């Protein structure tokens, strides 16, 4: 028994030393333009999918077939999400093509068949990916609005999209947001849509 414990402790120490060595030599490349090894990628994807599946499975999904909810979601999506997740007829943005992992094109995939999982991801975000925890500033109701909108999004063409966004009240999410016009302008420009790039930004 004592011997087993000693052997295990020694093995543990060796693994720890190995891991420290890998860290110390700088072998781990954190560059976003250097894709993960296939095995690391498979591990991270499986861990993410399972993590979301388990946490989202007991979330009750409210009725999402509601025109008002969808409209509100369209305004928020356009203000906060298109810079990474795009919209019908929209070309890649600097963010959408440069982030790693790449943000999925939600104008094509919508909620991907699982509204509860989409709600969970939007509310809590995904660590170290660029996907923020929007629940820090948005109420659940407004997050469901975006889920309801995302369910419709793959069916919309560029004109439908623009009309739906124009008919919404724009950016609003029940606490946290600034109501000043300036804020909306700022978000639109930061995310590279709407008015296009700020003057002076050329490349």
String of contacts with ligand HEC for each residue 78-117, x by CB under 6 A: --xx-xxx---------x---x-x-xx-------x-----
Q: Is 72 in the site for ligand HEC (CB under 6 A)?
A: no
Compute the least distance from the CB of residue 151 to ligand HEC, in Å: 11
Contact 147, 119 (CB under 8 A): yes
Phi-psi domain of 128 (left: phi exceeds 0; alpha: psi -120 through 50; beta: other): left
Contact 156, 131 (CB under 8 A): no
Stretch that binds ligand HEC, among 3-11, 16-24, 123-131, 156-164 (CB under 6 A): 123-131
Phi-psi domain of 37 (left: phi exceeds 0; alpha: psi -120 through 50; beta: other): beta
Count of residues in contact with ligand HEC, rule CB under 6 A: 22
String of contacts with ligand HEC for each residue 138-177, x by CB under 6 A: --------x-------------------------------
Burial of 154 (0-12, 13-18, 19+ CB in 10 A): middle
């Amino acid at each position: 028994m004592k011997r087993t414990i000693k052997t295990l402790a020694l093995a543990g120490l060796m693994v720890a030393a190995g891991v420290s060595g890998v860290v110390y030599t700088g072998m781990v490349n954190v560059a976003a333009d250097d894709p993960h090894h296939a095995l690391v990628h498979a591990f991270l994807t499986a861990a993410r999918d399972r993590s979301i599946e388990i946490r989202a499975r007991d979330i009750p999904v409210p009725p999402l077939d509601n025109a008002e909810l969808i409209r509100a979601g369209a305004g928020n999506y356009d203000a906060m999400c298109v810079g990474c997740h795009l919209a019908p007829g929209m070309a890649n943005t600097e963010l959408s093509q440069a982030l790693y992992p790449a943000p999925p094109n939600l104008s094509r995939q919508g909620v991907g068949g699982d509204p509860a999982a989409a709600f969970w991801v939007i509310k809590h975000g995904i660590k170290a990916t660029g996907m923020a925890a929007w629940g820090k500033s948005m109420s659940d109701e407004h997050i469901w609005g975006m889920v309801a909108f995302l369910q419709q999004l793959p069916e919309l063409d560029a004109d439908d999209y623009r009309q739906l966004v124009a008919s919404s009240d724009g950016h609003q999410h029940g606490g946290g947001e600034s109501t000043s016009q300036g804020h909306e302008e700022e978000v639109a420009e930061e995310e590279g849509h709407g008015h296009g790039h700020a003057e002076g930004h050329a490349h």
